[in-house]
Amino acid sequence: MKELREMKASLSEEMSKYLDAHEANWTDDNEKAHQAMVAELKELATAIRRREVVQIVDTPEGGAGPSSYITMVDGSGKRHFAVAKDQKFANLPMQAARPTDCRFAAGEYLRAMVTGVTSSTPPSIGAALSRGNATSAGYILPTEFSANVIDLARSKSVVMEAGAITIQLTGSEFSIGRLLTDPEMKPKLENEKFEDSSIALGRTTITPRLIGCIVKASREMIEDAPNAPELIEMAMAASLANSLDRYAVNGIGAAEEPLGLLHVPDLASTDDEDPISFVNVAGAAMAVRVRNHEPTAAILNTIDDHVLGMTTDSQGRWLGAPPPLENVVRLESSHVPQDNVLVGDFTKFAWGIRENATVEIGETAEAFERHQVCFKIFFRGDTAMLDSSAFQKVKTNVPAE
């Protein structure tokens, strides 16, 4: 960021000196050189604005995790960390070291809450339980355990696979800058003023909302099955992944629901009278590129994805995606309505998640009769649109049966 600002300042000074030196005898060559500097200045300004919202920094030397992670700086100067789709939430700064004596620590922790600490309980689990994380709302799952569940859920989430980032929330609310409009650079006549072209910045506020699930299991399975911790943890992750996709796509942004992509007010939309095809998906990708973004993925309804996959030419040969969609990953989700397609740069969309999960154990009358136990697990999280111009929604015509 510092280097970009220094380059921009240096170029601005160079442009000023160039104008002073050549203004009296301005030629076509001078104009070409000036326009080249203007274009370069615009690129630097755009790069700086984008990095003011999302900055990439190196992992501290000796730290665990990926070679880089995302950091966002709020108005008070506090840093908030985030990860891209191929990075681990558990490797972020401020996360405790993951236990090395068990693979599915969250599942082991929940089993030990039911059975108590036994001779087969991993030492890290016994130590975590002995620390006492009980609250009036239940047990707070240690961050090093719940982070692994979040990563498992992220690996199963379609929106995350499309490129959405995950922000580590540490407070009750987090505001992040959002670029609404780009400035426009224009040429000027000699001795005339430059036309004012201001950028418009907005604010996206992430307010963690309750997201949870209930997992039922037989006591016999919990006590006797060697893979019980894995099954419990996988069930938790699958439920969380389903919620991440459901609300990222369809959340209405009210009644405690996060705001999903289909309901973002200023997200560009196209109505197409034709049924789903590579043509209208490619058209959406082009619309995103016209706004200076590169689409990472297209998310379709499961049925629409099947229709595209079954496309053939006049001789019955399978047709693949055209060149404009070569680098756009096609993903399917039942949470996208059949007549809608979402295309965009999904790195401009985020989930903010509190790393702590809370767990309650209980028994309903039915569970008691069946010798079952119920786990209620809940996280807090919210969606955030970082730049709506990076997306295009297409509403197609569903063909008659």
Question: Could you report the per-residue pLDDT of 46-55, keeping only the tens digit for each?
Answer: 666 555 544 4
135 lies in a domain? yes
Asked if residue 81 and residue 42 are part of one domain, the reply reads no
180 lies in a domain? no
* pLDDT tens column, 179-230: 666 666 667 767 777 666 666 666 677 888 888 877 788 888 888 888 888 8
What span, in angstroms and rounded, lies between the C-alpha atoms of 224 and 82?
Answer: 38
Kind of pairing between the strands at 391-395 and 340-344:
antiparallel
184 lies in a domain? no
198 lies in a domain? no
Mean pLDDT for 285-312 is 92
The string of DSSP letters for 199-211 reads -EEEEEEE--EEE
What span, in angstroms and rounded, lies between the C-alpha atoms of 5 and 367?
Answer: 62
CA angle 294–298–301, rounded 5-degree value: 165
- What are the angstrom distances between the C-alpha of 263 and each of 180, 252, 342? 17, 6, 12
Asked if residue 29 and residue 125 are part of one domain, the reply reads no
User: Which secondary structure element, helix H or strand E, spans residue 150, and what is its range?
Assistant: helix 143-156
Q: What is the pLDDT of residue 202?
A: 66
Mean pLDDT for 315-319 is 84
321 lies in a domain? yes
The one-letter amino acid at 249: V
Query: Residue 126 is encoded by which pair of tokens?
Result: 């016994």
What residues form DSSP beta bridges with 205?
Answer: 175
Asked if residue 287 and residue 226 are part of one domain, the reply reads no
The total number of structural domains in the chain stands at: 3
The model's confidence at residue 63, banded by pLDDT at 50, 70 and 90, is very low
What span, in angstroms and rounded, lies between the C-alpha atoms of 339 and 397?
Answer: 6
Q: Could you identify the residue written with the tokens 């307010």?
A: 207
- List b or e across 156-175, with b for residues whose CB sees 16 or more CB atoms inside 10 angstroms: bbbbbbbbbbbbbbeeeebe
Q: Are 338 and 331 in contact (CB under 8 A)?
A: no
Count of other CB atoms within 10 angstroms of residue 28: 7
Q: Are 319 and 288 in contact (CB under 8 A)?
A: no
Whole-prediction pTM: 0.74
What span, in angstroms and rounded, lies between the C-alpha atoms of 100 and 233?
Answer: 17
* pLDDT tens column, 155-190: 999 999 999 999 888 777 777 766 666 666 667 767
The model's confidence at residue 66, banded by pLDDT at 50, 70 and 90, is very low
Q: Is 132 exposed, middle or buried (0-12, 13-18, 19+ CB in 10 A)?
A: exposed
Asked if residue 138 and residue 251 are part of one domain, the reply reads yes
Count of other CB atoms within 10 angstroms of residue 319: 13
20 lies in a domain? yes
The pLDDT of residue 92 is above 60: yes
Q: What is the pLDDT of residue 393?
A: 95
CATH assignment of the domain containing 338:
3.30.2320.10
Regarding predicted confidence, which is higher, 297 or 170? 297
Asked if residue 105 and residue 8 are part of one domain, the reply reads no
The pLDDT of residue 57 is above 50: no
* pLDDT tens column, 106-153: 888 888 888 888 888 888 888 887 776 555 445 677 777 888 888 889
Asked if residue 283 and residue 223 are part of one domain, the reply reads no
Q: What is the pLDDT of residue 61?
A: 38
188 lies in a domain? no
Q: What is the pLDDT of residue 60?
A: 42
The closest of 261, 273, 265 to 351, measured between CA atoms, is 261
Asked if residue 266 and residue 251 are part of one domain, the reply reads no
Asked if residue 137 and residue 101 are part of one domain, the reply reads yes
Q: What is the pLDDT of residue 350?
A: 92
The alpha carbon of 137 is separated from its chain's Cα centroid by a whole number of angstroms, namely 28
Q: What is the pLDDT of residue 64?
A: 43
Asked if residue 116 and residue 249 are part of one domain, the reply reads yes
Supply the range of the domain harboring residue 272.
Answer: 262-350+388-395
Mean pLDDT for 277-286 is 92
Asked if residue 154 and residue 142 are part of one domain, the reply reads yes
For the chain, what's the residue count?
Answer: 401
Asked if residue 372 and residue 335 are part of one domain, the reply reads no
Asked if residue 4 and residue 36 are part of one domain, the reply reads yes
213 lies in a domain? yes
Q: What is the pLDDT of residue 62?
A: 38
